[in-house]
Amino acid sequence: MENVVNRELLDQVIAISVKAGEAILEVYNASGDIAVDSKSDDSPVTAADLAAHKILAPALEQLLDGVPVLSEEGKLPAFDVRGQWNRYWIIDPLDGTKEFIRRNGEFTVNVALIENGEPVLGVVHVPVLDITYAGGKSLGAIKQDAQGEKAIQVRAMQPRLDGKQPIEVVASRSHGAGAVDELLARIEGSLGETGLKNMGSSLKLCLVAEGAADLYPRLAPTCEWDTAAAQAVVEAAGGVVVDAQFALLRYNQKDALLNPFFYVIGDRAYDWKSLLLG
């Protein structure tokens, strides 16, 4: 398979994601309550989810010939079809719909390119903040904001331990609180003080990628389009995303699109496995 991951492609995906974010903001900033419908799985959907999908899907289909798009807001092909895909786009046009409805700003546009189950390019755009996290295999990771663009990377654990600084853990605002509390107690018993940041959407993974947090344990359900883009950014920044058995999180391996529980780890050199599974 030829290598298509390069800076030009990344920049094109960033531009498309920003455009989708602008469509989301048109709905977000409109006066009145946000109209919410329910999908077949009872998850919420708004006009903003659909508007972003209508921008992303056709634009991505034109970027790489013959590469299909799997979207949360699109038709889901049967696994015997998509299981044949070696390369495809996976998108969540509006990740954090509940945060969008609450108007707290913690929602994102997620776009990833998957090759043989691995996220090799990802863009996470935050419309309200006009911040974009992006990265790709062999490209490194970046953050773009009002100050411009800078390279980002995960941070090392040892200087924090040596300086007796809190280990920063990020967790969902809405899911899995009890299990996370138990895990925090175990970390504190071994490493000392921890700090906890609660946040919605794939922003949690991006905090690990930019070195603002050390660990994100996800001990509640997610779907593959929730995580793929930000996983690509985390891994481009030097981190790793593993399942509960510490195997690399991979995509399009089964009929269901639900992820297993997982851990987003900044410092790959630190022995998180012994601490988290011990």
Three-state SS letters, 163-209: CCCCEEEEEECCCCHHHHHHHHHHHHHHHCCEEEEEECCCHHHHHHH
Same domain, 75 and 180: no
**Distance in angstroms (rounded) separating the CA atoms of residues 110 and 124:** 5
Supply the pLDDT for residue 173. Answer: 66
Query: Across the 278 residues of the chain, what is the mean pLDDT of every consecutive 10-residue run?
Result: 95 98 93 75 82 97 97 94 97 91 92 98 97 97 97 97 95 72 90 90 95 95 96 98 97 96 97 90
Distance, C-alpha 64 to centroid of its chain: 22
218 is in which domain, residue-wise? 158-277
User: What is the pLDDT at residue 40?
Assistant: 65
Q: Are 169 and 207 in contact (CB under 8 A)?
A: no
For position 149, what pLDDT does the model report?
98
| Domain CATH code at residue 100 | 3.30.540.10
Q: Is residue 2 part of a domain?
A: no
129 assigned binding-site residue? no
What are the C-alpha distances in Å from 77 to residues 52, 177, 215, 223, 244? 20, 33, 34, 15, 28
Any binding-site annotation on 227? no
Say if residue 92 carries a ligand binding annotation: yes
What radius of gyration, in Å, describes the C-alpha atoms of the chain? 18
Any binding-site annotation on 65? no
94 annotated binding-site participant: yes
Return the CATH number at 262: 3.40.190.80
Q: Based on the domain organization, do 198 and 118 belong to the same domain?
A: no
The count of other CB atoms within 10 Å of the CB of residue 7 is 12
14 and 142 co-located in one domain: yes
Other C-beta atoms within 10 Å of 122: how many? Answer: 33
Asked whether residue 69 is domain-assigned, the answer is: yes
CA distances in angstroms from 14 to 7, 131, 140, listed in the order given? 10, 11, 15
Distance (Å, whole) CA 120 – CA 34: 35
What integer pLDDT is reported at residue 42 of this predicted model?
A: 66
Residues 42, 123 within the same domain: yes
DSSP 256: S
What pLDDT does 199 receive?
87
- 60 known ligand binder: no
113 is in an annotated binding site: no
Q: Which of 131, 152, 173 is the last residue of a domain?
A: 152
